C-alpha cells in the first residue's frame, strides 16, 4: 500500500467557462483548508492573472489548460511556458481529450508540451484515456500503454516523478457517466504498472495519478479511496464552489 507516498492533487478544469468577473466571484466562494490535498484551479488564459490575484495567500494553486512547446516565435495565438510561469501559474493541463479531439493534439505534441512545461518549472497534468469504442473493443490497456509511453518518452526518472497523470476515460467526460471506482482504480493501477516497467517501482510509486470524468460531490469519496487514484481532475463540478469543496474534503478523508 503506497498511497501515502504520493501527493493527492485535486484539480478543477474550468474549460472555456467564466469571464474575469465571474472567475473572481467563484474563487471568493472557494473555501479550502486542510493540507492533505493540493488544490489547483485550471482556468482560461484570460483569467490566469485574476485567479492568481484572487487566491492571494490561500493554498490554492493556479493552472493553465494548455501550453505551446516552443519558447517563443511565430506561433500566432499560442502561449509559452515562460509566459505562464511569469504570472504565477504552477500547473498546466496537457493533452486533454478535448484538445486531442478538436485541436489535433497527438501523443507527440503532448510529449513536446510536457517537455516545455518541465523545462520552465511547471507541473504538467498529462491526460490520457480511452474512447468508448476502444473500451468496448477491449483495447483500453493498449491505448493507455501507448499514450503513457509516447507521451512520457525521453524523460528522466526525476522528471517523471514531477508529472501528474490524469486518467480520463473519454466516455466519462462531461457525460455524467462515471467510471466505477473499480474501473478507475484498475486503469490507474495499470498506468502505474507501465511506468514501473520503464522506470522501476520506486518512480511509479511516486507518481500522482488522478481520475477524471464526471467526478462529483457524490462519487468523489469512493473514487478517491482507490489505492491507485491519487486525486481528481474535475470539470463541471469544479464550477460549483460547494461541490468542489465537498470533493476536496473527500480527498482529505
Ligand atoms: P467532467 O470533466 O468532470 O465535466 O466530466 C473532466 C475533465 O474533462 O477534465
Residue of 165, 166, 214, 217 best suited for mutating to test ligand 1, as the one with most atoms within 8 Å of CB: 214
The answer to whether residue 252 scores a pLDDT higher than 90 is no
Mean pLDDT, rounded, for 141-161: 98
Query: Which residue shows C-alpha cell 486518467?
Result: 167
Give the pLDDT band (50/70/90) at residue 177: confident
Helix (H, G, I), strand (E, B) or coil at 241: helix
Mean pLDDT, rounded, for 31-56: 90
Mean pLDDT, rounded, for 120-144: 97
The answer to whether residue 108 scores a pLDDT higher than 90 is yes
Enter the C-alpha cell of residue 143.
491505448
Mean pLDDT, rounded, for 196-223: 97
Atom of ligand 1 nearest to the CA of 216: 3
Longest dimension (CA), the chain: 48
Whole-number Å distance, alpha carbon 216 to ligand 1 midpoint, is 10
Residue 1 is predicted with a pLDDT of 60
Look over the chain and give the mean of its residue pLDDT values, rounded to a whole number.
95
pTM: 0.97
The answer to whether residue 123 scores a pLDDT higher than 70 is yes
The answer, yes or no, to whether any atom of ligand 1 lies below 6 A from the CB of 215, is yes
Amino acid at each position: 500500500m503506497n498511497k501515502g507516498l504520493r501527493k493527492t492533487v485535486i484539480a478543477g478544469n474550468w474549460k472555456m467557462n467564466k469571464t474575469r468577473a465571474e472567475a473572481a466571484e467563484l474563487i471568493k466562494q472557494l473555501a479550502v483548508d486542510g493540507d492533505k490535498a493540493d488544490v489547483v484551479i485550471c482556468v482560461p488564459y484570460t483569467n490566469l492573472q485574476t485567479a492568481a490575484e484572487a487566491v492571494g495567500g490561500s493554498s490554492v494553486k493556479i493552472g493553465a489548460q494548455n501550453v505551446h512547446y516552443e519558447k517563443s516565435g511565430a506561433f500566432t495565438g499560442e502561449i509559452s511556458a515562460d509566459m505562464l510561469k511569469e504570472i504565477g501559474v504552477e500547473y498546466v493541463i496537457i493533452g486533454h481529450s478535448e484538445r486531442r479531439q478538436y485541436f489535433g493534439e497527438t501523443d507527440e505534441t503532448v510529449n513536446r508540451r510536457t517537455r516545455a512545461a518541465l523545462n520552465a518549472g511547471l507541473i504538467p497534468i498529462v491526460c490520457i484515456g480511452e474512447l468508448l469504442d476502444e473500451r468496448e473493443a477491449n483495447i483500453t490497456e493498449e491505448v493507455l500503454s501507448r499514450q503513457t509511453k509516447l507521451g512520457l518518452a525521453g524523460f528522466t526518472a526525476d522528471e517523471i516523478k514531477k508529472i501528474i497523470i490524469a486518467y480520463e476515460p473519454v466516455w466519462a467526460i462531461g457525460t455524467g457517466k462515471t467510471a466505477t471506482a473499480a474501473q478507475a482504480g484498475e486503469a490507474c493501477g495499470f498506468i502505474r504498472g507501465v511506468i514501473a516497467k520503464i522506470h522501476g517501482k520506486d518512480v511509479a510509486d511516486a507518481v500522482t495519478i488522478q481520475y477524471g470524468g464526471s467526478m462529483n460531490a457524490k462519487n468523489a469519496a469512493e473514487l478517491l479511496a482507490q489505492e491507485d487514484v491519487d486525486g481528481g481532475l474535475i470539470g463541471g463540478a469544479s464550477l460549483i464552489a460547494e461541490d468542489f469543496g465537498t470533493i476536496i474534503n473527500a480527498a482529505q478523508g
